[in-house]
Structure 1
Amino acid sequence: MSEITALGLYSGGLDSLLACRVIAAQGIRVIALKFVTPFFDHDLLTREEEFQREVMRKHGVDVRLVDLSEGYIELLRNPAHGYGKHFNPCIDCKIFMLTRARELMPRYDASFLFTGEVLGQRPMSQRRDTLRVIERDSKCEDILLRPLCAKRLDPTRPEREGMVDREKLYGFSGRGRKDQMALAREFGITEYPAPAGGCILTDPNLGARIERFYQGHFATGRESIEVGDIKLLQVGRQFLLPGGTWLVLGRKQAENERIKKLYEPGDWLLKMEDRPGPTGLLRRAEQTVAGTEQEEEILRLAAGLVVRYGKKIHGETPPATVRIYGEGKEETMTAHPVDGTDFAC
C-alpha cells in the first residue's frame, strides 16, 4: 500500500463510492469522510461502528463519521451563496464540508482531498464556475481532485506531482448515469442507492417548514435552534397554535416513541387516557405557554387535536380525557375533537 493518503467526501451514493474506488485502485490509502447534520444522516451517529463495518463489508471503504451539526445550523441562517430551489444552501454546504475536510488532513496525514462530483450533474453546485468558487472559498485550490470528471478540468497538484495517474481518471459530465453504472460494473459494484436527494432541505414540504422555523414563525425562537428542534421538525403531524406555539403529534406508534425521545425539559407531553391515539408534544411550553393569557386556549386546542387524531369508536370521535404532563406540569382535561386545518404547518 502506498504511503499516500487521501480524504474523500463520502455521501453513500454511487458517485462518491466510485471516486473512492478509483483513487484506491491507484494504491492510495483512502479514508472516506461521511459528514452528518440534523438535515441528513444524523441517526448514523447512534450506530457508527455498525455503519463502518457495513460500508467496509459491502464496498471495502474505510469510512469515518464527522458531525457538522452545530456549525451547519448556523450556516443555514445566512449562506453566502444563497439557497437552491428550496431551502438548500448547496454551494455553502460543499464549501463547509471541504473546509472541514481540509482541517482534518493533518490528523490523517493526508496529501489531498477528492469528491465524487461530476461536471454539469447538478445545476447549482456542479457548474464549472461553481466548482472553482467552491475550491476557492474552502481554500482547497490545487489539492482537491474530482476523479470522475478530472479529464475535463485542469490538472491538480496530486496529478502534476505524480501522486495520481491522470490517465486512470475519467471525464464524465452531465446528468446521465450510464458512464457511472458502467464503471460500477467494472468494479463489481452491484449494490448502491438510486440517485436521490438525501438532504431534507431539498424537500419542498420539509424545506419550507424548516425555512419558516428559521424565519421565527415558531415561538421557540430562531436564535436558539438546536439539533433536537431540527429532528422534531421531521416527525409526525406539525401544528402552529396561537402565538406560534409548536405542537407535534405522532401518526403511528413508532413516531409516538420518537417524539417521547425528543422530549426536553420545558416541553409538555399530551396523551389520551381513554383510548389509543397520538402522543403530542408542546415544545418549550414551560417558557412559551405557562402562565400566559392564551394557556387555556392552547391546551384546549392541543388536547382537541390529540383527540381528533385518536382511535375512533364505532366510526365516531367522542370526547376523551387528555393528560398533559412534563417538568412542573401535571393535569388532565376533557377535550373534544377540533379541526386542525388552520394550524397545520
Structure 2
Amino acid sequence: MQKNTAIGLFSGGLDSILACRIIAEQGIRVRALKFVTPFFDHDLLARQEEYQQEVKEKYGLNVELVDLSAGYIELLRNPSHGFGKNFNPCIDCKIMMLSRAKELMEEYGASFLVTGEVLGQRPMSQRRDTLNLIERDADCRDILLRPLSAQLMSPSLPEREGLVDRERLYRFSGRGRKPQISLARELGITDFPAPAGGCVLTDPNLAARIRRFYEGLFLIGKEEITTADIQLLLLGRQFRLPGGHWLILGRNEQENERLAECCEEDDWLLSMPERPGPTALLRRGSTLITLSEEREKILNAVVGLVVRYGRKVKGAFLPGEVLFQEGSVQNMLQADVLADEVFQDWIV
C-alpha cells in the first residue's frame, strides 16, 4: 500500500473540489471517486469519459464513477439512522460511500480517505457528533481526513505520520461560503457549481413521490424496486390506475423517447402515430394483469389517457388511433377521450 495516494469523495461541489485539491497541492496523488445512484448523477454513466475530461480540465483531478445503485435502493428500505426532512438518508448515505471507498483503498494503493465535509455546515450530517458516528459506522476512524475543518478536529493518522502537513489544512466551520470561495480563487478555481441540492431525495415533491413508491403506491413491492423503476418514477406524468397499476405519460418528445428506451419485455407501450401526443408506458402490464376483464378495463383507460393528452384538433380533444405494443406484438386501437373527472384521482 503506497503512502502517496489518497481517495477523495468527489460530489462535484466546491467543498469536495477544494478538499481534493488541498491534498493534491501537498504532492499526494488523489483518486477522486464520484458516486452515482438513480437519485443523483446517474446520467453521468452515459458520458463517463466526457465527464472525466471536464473534471481534469477544470480542477486538475482524476475522477472515476462508482455506481451504488443496487445498494442504495436497498438502503432506502430501512436506513439505520433514519431520514432527513424529506426522504434523504444523509447519514447512512455518507456511511455507504465511505465504506465503499475504504473497500477500494487497496485496489488504488491508497492510505487514507478525504472528504469535503465542513463542521457545522449541515444540521443533520455535519455536526461533530454525527461526523464521529459516520467515521465509526464506516469503520474509517483515523484514516479519514477532512481538510477544510481539520484544524478544528483531532489530528488524523496521515497528519500524525507526517504524510500530510496539518499547518496547510484549514479550520472552516458553519454555513458561510466566503472562506471556500476565497480559497478557490487562491487555487485558481473559477468555474465551480453554485450550492444546490443535487439529490432528488431532498426535493419535497419528488421525495414524497419516492416515499409513496416505497410505501406501496403501486403494485410493485419495495423489495422488487429496480434502478429502472426509479428512473421511470422521475419521468413524465405519473398515474396510479385502478388496482394499483403504474402508468407514465411522456410530456414532450424527449420524454417519449426515454420511455420507449426504458420499455421492458413485460411493459405496455402506447403512442399515437397519427398526431402529436404522449408515449405511455404501463409498467409490468403483461405480468401484473392476467384477467381478461381487468385487461380490457385498464387498456381502455390507458388509450383514453393517451388521446386525452394528445394535441388538440381545432381546440378540442378528439378520439384517435393508438398503437399498442406488448412485447413483440403490435395492434392499432381506436380510442375515445377519457373524461377528466374519471382520472383526476389517478394523478400522482
For Structure 1 versus Structure 2, the TM-score category normalised by the shorter chain is over 0.9
Aligned to 1:84: 84
Q: CA deviation at 1:3?
A: 5.4
AA of the residue aligned to 2:345? D
Q: Is the 8 A contact 2:3 2:110 kept in 1?
A: no
AA of the residue aligned to 2:339? V
Question: Secondary structure in 2 aligned to 1:321?
Answer: strand
Question: Secondary structure in 2 aligned to 1:258?
Answer: helix
AA of the residue aligned to 1:263? C
Q: Give unpaired runs (5+ residues) of structure 2.
A: none
Task: Give the whole-Å Cα distance in 1 for the aligned partners of 2:288 and 2:160.
Answer: 60
Deviations 1:145-169 (A, max 9, x none): 0000111111111111101111100
Task: Give the whole-Å Cα distance in 2 for the aligned partners of 1:185 and 1:336.
Answer: 59
Q: Give unpaired runs (5+ residues) of structure 1.
A: none
Deviations 1:200-236 (A, max 9, x none): 1111111111111111221122221111001111111
Deviations 1:144-198 (A, max 9, x none): 0000011111111111110111110011111111111111111111111110111
Q: Is the 8 A contact 1:14 1:192 kept in 2?
A: yes
Task: Kindly report which structure 2 residues correspond to 1:222-241, keeping only aligned pairs within 5 A, or say none.
Answer: 222-241=222-241
Task: Kindly report which structure 2 residues correspond to 1:263-302, keeping only aligned pairs within 5 A, or say none.
Answer: 263-291=263-291, 293-302=293-302
Task: Give the whole-Å Cα distance in 1 for the aligned partners of 2:325 and 2:176.
Answer: 54
Q: CA deviation at 1:328?
A: 5.7
Task: Give the whole-Å Cα distance in 1 for the aligned partners of 2:53 and 2:274.
Answer: 46
Give RMSD over aligned pairs. 1.3
Aligned to 1:43: 43
Aligned to 2:335: 334
Task: Give the whole-Å Cα distance in 2 for the aligned partners of 1:227 and 1:258.
Answer: 14
Task: Give the whole-Å Cα distance in 2 for the aligned partners of 1:338 and 1:259.
Answer: 24
Task: Give the whole-Å Cα distance in 2 for the aligned partners of 1:203 and 1:246.
Answer: 22
The runs of at least 4 aligned residues of structure 1 exceeding 4 Å deviation read: none
Aligned to 1:166: 166
Q: CA deviation at 1:281?
A: 0.2
Aligned to 1:65: 65
* TM-score in terms of structure 2 length: 0.96
Task: Give the whole-Å Cα distance in 1 for the aligned partners of 2:224 and 2:334.
Answer: 31
Aligned to 1:321: 321
Q: CA deviation at 1:292?
A: 5.0
Deviations 1:263-319 (A, max 9, x none): 111000111233110000000000112435322221122112111111111111111
Aligned to 2:204: 204
Task: Give the whole-Å Cα distance in 2 for the aligned partners of 1:14 and 1:131.
Answer: 19
Deviates more, 1:328-337 or 1:88-97: 328-337
Deviates more, 1:13-22 or 1:206-215: 206-215
Q: Is the 8 A contact 2:3 2:163 kept in 1?
A: no
Q: CA deviation at 1:45?
A: 1.1
Aligned to 2:347: 344
Q: Is the 8 A contact 1:250 1:256 kept in 2?
A: yes
Deviates more, 1:144-153 or 1:285-294: 285-294
Deviations 1:39-67 (A, max 9, x none): 11111111111111111011100001111
Task: Give the whole-Å Cα distance in 2 for the aligned partners of 1:27 and 1:328.
Answer: 58
Q: Is the 8 A contact 2:318 2:336 kept in 1?
A: no
* TM-score in terms of structure 1 length: 0.97
- Percent identity over paired residues: 63
Q: Is the 8 A contact 2:95 2:135 kept in 1?
A: yes
Task: Give the whole-Å Cα distance in 1 for the aligned partners of 2:88 and 2:329.
Answer: 38
Q: Is the 8 A contact 1:318 1:337 kept in 2?
A: no
Q: Is the 8 A contact 1:34 1:66 kept in 2?
A: yes
Aligned to 1:258: 258
Matched, 1:4 2:4: yes
Q: Is the 8 A contact 2:79 2:89 kept in 1?
A: yes
Task: Give the whole-Å Cα distance in 2 for the aligned partners of 1:25 and 1:115.
Answer: 15
